[in-house]
Amino acid sequence: MDAVVARELGLATSACVAVGGPTSIVKLGAEDGPPAMLTAQAVKNAQARRAAQAIAKSWHDVQAEKPQIYGDARSGNCAMHVNGPAYSEDFAFVSYASPSGEMGAYIFRKTDSRWQIIERVKLGYW
C-alpha cells in the first residue's frame, strides 16, 4: 500500500490518506456494477489475470460487504484513498483513488520474498 500511496500522492498538499479494504475484484455477469471497478479482464498479465479470476466475487457479494475505513480518515475528506491488498497465489491487487481523480489498481508479484509492481490498471475518474 505504501508503494501505491507514494506513486499516486506524490507532492500533493494533503497528507491525508483514507485506508480501506480489502481490494475487491468483481466477476462480470448479469449484475454488472459501475464502470470503474476492478475486474480480472482489466489485468493484462496472463498469470495475474488468472490469479484475479480465482478470487473474483459477484457485484452482489461486493455490495453486501461493509466498507471499512481505518484511522483518522473516517470523516471522508481525504483526497487519497487506497484499499488493502487482495492476495491470490504470488500476486497482490491494491486499488486506489488518487487526488488527481484517477481510480485504478496496482498489481504486485512476489518474487524472492519481495513484492514488485508488475502492472498499473487505470479504471476511470471520479
Residue 21 lies in a domain: no
- Under 8 Å between Cβ of 26 and 58: yes
Confidence at 30, pLDDT banded by 50, 70, 90: low
Residue 15 lies in a domain: no
**Distances from the Cα of 66 to the Cαs of 21, 49, 61, 110, 114, in angstroms?**
10, 26, 10, 29, 31
Residue 70 lies in a domain: yes
Confidence at 78, pLDDT banded by 50, 70, 90: confident
pTM listed for this prediction: 0.82
Domain limits for position 52: 2-9+26-116
> What would the grid cell of residue 20 be?
480501506
| Alpha-carbon span 92 to 110, nearest angstrom | 8
Q: What is residue 66's predicted lDDT score, i.e. its pLDDT? A: 67
Residue 126 lies in a domain: no
Mean per-residue pLDDT of the chain:
82
Domain count, the chain: 1
> What would the grid cell of residue 96 be?
486506489
- Under 8 Å between Cβ of 69 and 84: no
